[in-house]
Amino acid sequence: MRAVAAIARNTFREALRDRVLYLFLGFAVLLLVCSKLFGLLTVGDEGKVIKDFGLAGIQLFTMLIAVMMSVLLISREVDSRTVYNILAKPVRRWQFLIGKYLGLLATVAVNLALMTAVLLLVTVVYLREFDAGLLFAAAMTLLEMALLTAFATLFAVLTRPMLGTVFTLAVFVIGHVAEDIWLLTQHVDSGIVRPLVVAVHAVLPNLERFNFKAEVVHGLGVSSGEVALTVIYGLAYTAMVLVLACARFRTKDLV
């Protein structure tokens, strides 16, 4: 397990030294400026706008980190062949991959935590309220990113970096609209469209499940059963994708 931890730590350090935290700073500035603007512009409920906008921003920024950093850092290690030195040591292939994954996830999580802290601070300062729901929504975004990072890991071992990034981005986008499209095409039964939609819907995760923005922003309740189901769904899906990635990487020739 020391090997996994060492690889995770090294990956995290690489991400930090690659200055990913600048993304977080960008988010913070954007949020502060926009909150000020919303305060001036919105007549109605400025609190809801800030929260909604903040949560969406957090999701977008962490998604960018998950998509861009993940594929990049894994393929960089394989393409620049630093992986040779690692895997010639008493380290299993899956330990390498899981180490990379955990390091990336830690990077995503730290950024997400910092952004959430900024959002909480903004709501406390501007709106004079502390909304714990924001923490819950952020936690669900982390779960979504855990799954997305697993996909990035899978694509990093399956294809080239550029394609891997595109595919991961595609999973994110399709994962958010698949359910709607599936519903929309319920009654379409012509040609190829329906089977295609059904296939995509069956294989790709439904990322809308992790979206609790509306509930949090409007202060609606969420049942603990639903939360539990979402957590199980996210973890199980993540585990499955990681197992696939490790299985592919286990027999891969490193040339």
Partner 1 sequence: MAEIALSVEGLHKSFDPGLFERRVDVLKGLSLEVHRGETFGFLGPNGAGKTTTIKAITGLIRPDRGRISVCGLPHDRLEARARIGFMAEQPYVYNHLTGREFLEFHAELLALPRARVGARVAEVLELVSMTGAANRAMRTFSKGMLQRLSLAQALLGRPELLILDEPMSGLDPVGRRDVRDLILAEKERGTTVFFSSHIIPDVETICDRVAILVDGTVRAVGEVRELVAQEAEAYELSFVGGDAVDLETPLLASHRGSDAWWVRVAGEHRDALIRELAASGARLVALSPVRSTLEEFVLRHYEGGGR
- Number of helices followed by number of strands (H, E) in the chain: 10, 0
Give every CB contact of residue 205 below 8 A, 6+ residues apart in sequence.
Answer: 147, 171, 175, 233, 237
**Between residues 3 and 21, which has the closer beta carbon with respect to partner 1?**
3
Q: How far is the CB of 89 from partner 1 (least distance, A)?
A: 5
Question: What is the residue whose two structure tokens read 């390091």?
Answer: 103
Q: Are 134 and 123 in contact (CB under 8 A)?
A: yes
As given in the structure block, the two tokens for residue 158 are 């399956």
Q: How far is the CB of 9 from partner 1 (least distance, A)?
A: 8
**Between residues 66 and 78, which has the closer beta carbon with respect to partner 1?**
78
Q: How far is the CB of 127 from partner 1 (least distance, A)?
A: 40
Q: How far is the CB of 69 from partner 1 (least distance, A)?
A: 13
**Between residues 44 and 90, which has the closer beta carbon with respect to partner 1?**
90
Kindly list the residues in this chain that would bind partner 1 in the complex (CB under 8 A): 2-3, 5-7, 10, 13-14, 17-18, 80-82, 84-92, 251, 253-255
Q: How far is the CB of 83 from partner 1 (least distance, A)?
A: 8
**Between residues 84 and 130, which has the closer beta carbon with respect to partner 1?**
84
With both helix axes pointing from N to C terminus, report the angle between 161-184 and 193-203 in degrees, rounded to the nearest 10: 120
Q: Are 153 and 101 in contact (CB under 8 A)?
A: yes
Q: How far is the CB of 240 from partner 1 (least distance, A)?
A: 25
Q: Tell me the residue type at 209.
A: R
**Between residues 36 and 250, which has the closer beta carbon with respect to partner 1?**
250
Using CA atoms in the order 10, 12, 16, 17, what is the torsion angle rounded to 10 degrees?
A: 20
**Between residues 95 and 123, which has the closer beta carbon with respect to partner 1?**
95
CB-count burial class (<10 Å; 0-12, 13-18, 19+) for 169: buried
- Please state the separation of Cα 104 from the chain's center in Å: 10
